[in-house]
Amino acid sequence: MKKGVFLLVVLLVGALFLSAPAMAIQLGFQNITNNNPVNAAIGEAQLSVEVTPYPSSTNQVLFYFSNVGPSRSSIADVYFDDGDLFTFGLILNSTGVSFSPEAAPVNLPGGRTIHFVANQALSADSNSPVQPNGVNPGENLGIVLVLLPGNDFQNVLDELASGDLRVGIHVQGFASGGSESFVNNPNPVPEPATMLLLGTGLIGLAAFGRKRFSIGA
């Protein structure tokens, strides 16, 4: 293959990634309390939050919490360390989940060790009985926050990446007892579709490269 065609392929693949809109990111969680290393590892392995624009809205953001299991655990409280992006919107409870606004305690347990200061107006927690109504394996919770004027979804992504916006969760219901607190990892988990596209592009480029060299041999 000619050098010019090879470079064109590279540019087209690069343009595809650069032009693709950032519509959603998935974030894992990292433990901050380490009361029990086993429980800390469980939370980091099976809890996540997807951040995406709320459907049919230009000024709302959905934070979609998931517990994929299989180990026993229950997200009981959700906190946001941010005061200049949002006001509270609404709660979307999946079957078996029941949350209400304004969590107690007002700050993420253990959060002071990392200077996490929750905006209570954005927080939520599970209703009594706390553990059964939390986000257990196979369940989900959506929290919709409304962007303040002058902000958009890109501001949310930027503040998550910089750490100016942090999401904290308090988790109970472990089989061994106890509880743990977690804060979002600022590095997004690659989505399967994105990874497939990236892999396809790299494989294609590698094939073009091999063909080019074989022709030149």
- pLDDT tens digit sequence for 179-210: 999 999 988 876 544 444 434 343 343 443 33
Helix (H, G, I), strand (E, B) or coil at 170: strand
Q: Is 194 helix (H, G, I), strand (E, B) or coil?
A: helix
C-alpha 207/C-alpha 196 separation (Å) is 16
In this prediction, residue 216 carries a pLDDT of 38
What the chain holds in terms of domains, given with CATH numbers, is: 24-196 (2.60.40)
| Angle, helix 3-19 to helix 192-216, in steps of 10 degrees | 170
Burial class (CB in 10 A: 0-12, 13-18, 19+), 196: exposed
pLDDT at res. 67: 98
pLDDT, residue 23, reads 75
pLDDT at 191: 56
The DSSP letter of residue 191 is: P
pTM recorded for the entire structure: 0.79
Give the Cα separation of 136 and 99 in Å (integer): 13
Contacts with 204 (C-beta within 8 Å, 6 or more apart), sequence order: 9, 13
Residues of the chain below pLDDT 70: 1-22, 190-217
The per-residue pLDDT for 4 is: 52
